[in-house]
Structure 1
Amino acid sequence: MRFLTAVTALPILFSSYFVQASNQHITELVNAAKSRTLVQITYDGSYRRISYPMGDVPAHIGVCTDVIIRSYRQLGIDLQQQVHEDISAHFDSYPSNRIWGMKKPDSNIDHRRVPNLQTFFTRHGEQQAISNQPEDYLPGDIVTWMLPGNLPHIGIVVDIKDPETQTPLVVHNIGQGPEMDNSLFRFPITGHYRYMPDINI
């Protein structure tokens, strides 16, 4: 479902992470993620050549990683460039060769792969503990899962929670376009991250 008919606003609580990342930026990221659910997207993960930096696949297509990329981009944060620069300098730290047999970075696709984003957020964000406690997941948190068939997946926690379970909702694209739903604990969680670089306004 794209929006639940009955939801409860989730207050944004701040840890040490949010001392560095302002309330405004986290709110903007969450709002950007929620706005993705208003866009009609056809799930299409085919390889495409795109511009660099700030490159993107056609606006009407996308996969789970594009929800994250496009949400951050609304804040002026270009994960394509940031991932490409990091993987170019630290190629062996990324799983590109092990998983896909790549010999060098590729700015067309590297940032659109969940394992690469996991590596980037681990290296440059704050890696959080994985738990089954809803209160451990804050608005703006990035979560990765392993879907059936060993398919990696990624989404973002927002500031709304399910009124029955009190679980924060997530925005993700699991095949039917970006949607906001109660999927945080639906699949095994493989990663939990917080990432907000300095933004000059």
Structure 2
Amino acid sequence: MAKRRNSHHLGTIEYIGPRPQAKKPQRRPNFLGGWVVLMIAAGAAWFFGKPLVPLLRAQNTVATVESADRLILELSPSAEFGERLAAMALQRTKTPSIYDTAYYQIAYPGGDIPGGGADGKTPKGKAEDLLVRSYRSLGIDLQVLIHEDMTKNFSAYPRLWPTSGPDSNIDHRRIQNLQRYFKHTGAEMAVDTKRPNKSEFKAGDVVVWMLAQGELHCGIVVPGPGDRRDEPWVVHDNGQGPKWENVLTEYQIHGHYRYTGQVGEVAKR
């Protein structure tokens, strides 16, 4: 048998693997279709998101010392008594206070309970004290006015305490007496206690609430901060010092008063 001659040339190499596929032609991207989708998505986001813009903006408007300063500067020179009273109430939110409901012997007239804290100068008091101090900043001394009215008409005031006559130390620091005095001077406003209308409250109005525990609480209506200027907020002290908050209808409203220091038609006793 003849021998196979060796070849110095490479033989055919057998290819093992997937069969080569014919190259498909590439499709040109449809830029118009992409833009249409983006425009539809943007339109939907605007349509559904637009109503939320005022809400988000309002949530970003918060009560700060800076916003209080701006509002005080705006309200203080107002010709409206209520706006000036609101400015005085807002001023009190800038000063820390120690909550104190105790009885004190104080001066008359112009008396106030002593301060506290490490230096003995930090204001002390409760919601009624905030109200009395705000009025006094405008030259109206509720301590004197209530004492004089109680001296003349003691039997017309609530008999909730073991006292046989007026007490200038404490009478103006009791919310029931403040309510009765405001009513006597014609300052009481009609209010739907079950469905109060916020639009009926103006800056400087006094609001009295009935809390869940059955206790009465009071505050002064003030404008809201920044973009919420047209909303009726309140300044009150519910145990943590004077606060500027959006809580006008958070509690059950028990009374609404607009006392400007001027005595109107006296209600029948």
TM-score scaled by structure 2?
Answer: 0.63
Range with greater deviation from structure 2 (36-45 or 154-163):
154-163
Distance in structure 1 (CA, Å) of the matches to 2:85 and 2:186: 15
Distance in structure 1 (CA, Å) of the matches to 2:225 and 2:254: 21
Alignment of structure 1 residues 1-201 onto 2, 5 Å: 4=63, 23-59=79-115, 60-95=123-158, 97=159, 99-131=160-192, 132-160=196-224, 167-198=231-262
Distance in structure 2 (CA, Å) of the matches to 1:162 and 1:120: 34
Code of the residue aligned with 2:141 in structure 1: it is D
> How far 1:163 sits from its partner (Å)?
5.8
What residue in structure 1 maps to residue 53 of structure 2?
Answer: none
Distance in structure 1 (CA, Å) of the matches to 2:198 and 2:256: 12
> How far 1:161 sits from its partner (Å)?
6.3
Supply the RMSD in Å over aligned alpha carbons: 2.5
Deviations 1:78-133 (A, max 9, x none): 000000000111001100x2x11321110000000000000011111421111321
> How far 1:162 sits from its partner (Å)?
8.8
Aligned length: 183
> How far 1:159 sits from its partner (Å)?
2.4
Does the 8 A contact of 1:162 with 1:182 survive in 2? no
Does the 8 A contact of 1:144 with 1:190 survive in 2? yes
Deviations 1:1-29 (A, max 9, x none): xx62589x7xxxxxxxxxxxx82433321
Return 5+ residue gaps in structure 2 as ranges: 1-61, 72-77, 116-122, 263-269
Code of the residue aligned with 2:150 in structure 1: it is I
Distance in structure 1 (CA, Å) of the matches to 2:224 and 2:239: 22
Return 5+ residue gaps in structure 1 as ranges: 10-21
Distance in structure 1 (CA, Å) of the matches to 2:162 and 2:256: 26
SS state of the match for residue 110, structure 2?
coil
Larger Rg: 2
Code of the residue aligned with 2:63 in structure 1: it is L
Q: Which has the higher contact order (CA 8 A, sep 6+)?
A: 1
> How far 1:167 sits from its partner (Å)?
4.0
What residue in structure 2 maps to residue 12 of structure 1?
Answer: none
Does the 8 A contact of 2:222 with 2:232 survive in 1? yes
Distance in structure 1 (CA, Å) of the matches to 2:245 and 2:208: 15
SS state of the match for residue 175, structure 1?
coil
Report sequence identity in percent: 42
Distance in structure 1 (CA, Å) of the matches to 2:96 and 2:163: 32
SS state of the match for residue 224, structure 2?
strand
Kindly report structure 1 stretches of 4+ aligned residues shifted beyond 6 Å: none
